[in-house]
């Protein structure tokens, strides 16, 4: 029997096939509910599309694509003021500002696509590549020229499926690792975790907890999130703008929308001093994996009270108590995440510039696009 693969591109979740969620088992971030959150409260410079892959008219693959217009950003990150940053910003504005991504720029890990077990993965990827070409044409017909197409966040096993002619001219890159914390199956409480730390890191734990003795942590419900929306946004944007590099900023209603849609699967914790909200973090229950999401804090208090470190310890404690198997701590702050026990998982992706000459220089250009992070891995355990 001749097997034919085809694709369909959807502009909205209302159009998705009824059995879409049957294929979103591997990750909550491809589920209809999550895609609705993206649809209702996306970053201002992002347009999402959803892709169905069919084998003889049966849905066998699902994927998410994001178009990012980097010219809409007022800031790519304000932490590093140097010549290299200025060059990078100039390059972005002029040659790389319109990016089409298969995957999710707001998350770390393989949240790009999910295929059924009956599928030939290489054929599915060939079909997905055709879908990106169709999306590129679609954007260009609206006057948005795509500069860069990228597929991102695959581990060393998944990347093998990309060994097909369609990806021959793409540059394979590896960015900052995904920091993943594995929960020992013998740990039943936070104390078990503390007992497994070496003296140096047990002392770090005690010091952090002592510093934050005046900080009150509170689980915030939908009405609390709505009531504190302005403060939450200020705390978030402060952290986001101080990152070394940004490609988007969340809209103000994002956390509210997430909570409305996901209810108990989305956890929002506020940190207070004398009743004033000074920080927050968010978690998403993703099967037996806990995904960390965005956070925010007042920087002066963060340093003094070791707030960020305390948040990491709180996330670990909660995840152990609730029987999760691992925590995805994602990128950024690699060293501090390493100091609580997270391990780096190398992630790979592909990138192609629409200009063939620029594309041939992609190995050199990429060094400017991706800020290099120098960090030292820690091992806090005995």
pLDDT tens figures, 124-166: 999 999 999 999 999 999 999 999 999 999 999 999 999 999 9
Selected residue with higher pLDDT from 2 and 156: 156
Asked whether the beta carbons of 167 and 350 are under 8 A apart, the reply is: yes
Of 196, 251, 259, nearest in space to 225 by CA? 259
367 — pLDDT class (breaks 50, 70, 90): confident
Q: Inform me whether the pLDDT recorded for 52 exceeds 80.
A: yes
State residue 290 phi and psi, 5-degree precision. -100, 120
Q: Which residues, in sequence order, are bridge partners of residue 359?
A: none
Average pLDDT score over the chain: 93
Q: What's the rounded Cα separation, in Å, for the pair 80 and 92?
A: 16
Q: What's the rounded Cα separation, in Å, for the pair 76 and 249?
A: 10
246 — pLDDT class (breaks 50, 70, 90): confident
């Amino acid at each position: 029997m001749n097997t034919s693969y085809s694709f369909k591109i959807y502009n909205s979740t209302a159009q998705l096939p009824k059995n879409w969620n049957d294929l979103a088992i591997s990750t909550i971030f491809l589920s209809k509910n999550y895609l609705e959150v993206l649809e209702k409260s996306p970053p201002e410079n992002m347009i999402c599309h959803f892709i169905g892959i069919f084998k003889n008219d049966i849905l066998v693959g699902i994927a998410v694509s994001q178009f990012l217009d980097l010219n809409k950003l007022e800031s790519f990150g304000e932490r590093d003021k140097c010549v290299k940053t200025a060059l990078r910003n100039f390059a972005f504005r002029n040659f790389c500002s319109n990016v089409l991504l298969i995957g999710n720029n707001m998350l770390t890990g393989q949240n790009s696509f999910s295929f059924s077990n009956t599928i030939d993965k290489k054929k599915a990827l060939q079909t997905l590549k055709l879908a990106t070409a169709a999306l590129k044409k679609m954007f260009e017909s609206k006057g948005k020229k795509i500069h860069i197409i990228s597929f991102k966040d695959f581990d060393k096993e998944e990347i093998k499926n990309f060994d097909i002619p369609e990806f021959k001219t793409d540059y394979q890159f590896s960015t900052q690792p995904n920091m993943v914390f594995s929960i020992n199956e013998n740990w039943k409480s936070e104390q078990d975790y503390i007992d497994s730390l070496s003296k140096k890191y047990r002392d770090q734990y005690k010091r952090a907890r002592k510093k934050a003795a005046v900080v009150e942590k509170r689980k915030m419900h939908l009405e609390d999130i709505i009531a504190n929306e302005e403060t939450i946004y200020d705390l978030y944007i402060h952290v986001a703008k101080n990152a070394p590099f940004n490609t988007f900023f969340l809209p103000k209603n994002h956390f509210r929308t997430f909570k409305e849609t996901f209810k108990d699967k989305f956890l929002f914790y506020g940190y207070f001093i004398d009743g004033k909200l000074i920080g927050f973090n968010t978690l998403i229950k993703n099967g037996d994996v806990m995904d960390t999401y965005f956070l925010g804090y007042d920087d002066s208090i963060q340093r003094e009270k070791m707030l960020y470190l305390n948040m990491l310890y709180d996330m670990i404690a909660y995840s152990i108590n609730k029987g999760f198997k691992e925590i995805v701590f994602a990128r950024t702050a690699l060293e501090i995440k390493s100091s609580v026990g997270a391990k780096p998982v190398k992630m790979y992706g592909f990138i192609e510039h629409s200009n063939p000459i620029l594309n041939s220089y992609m190995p050199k250009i990429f060094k400017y696009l991706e800020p290099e992070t120098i960090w030292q891995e820690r091992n806090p355990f005995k």
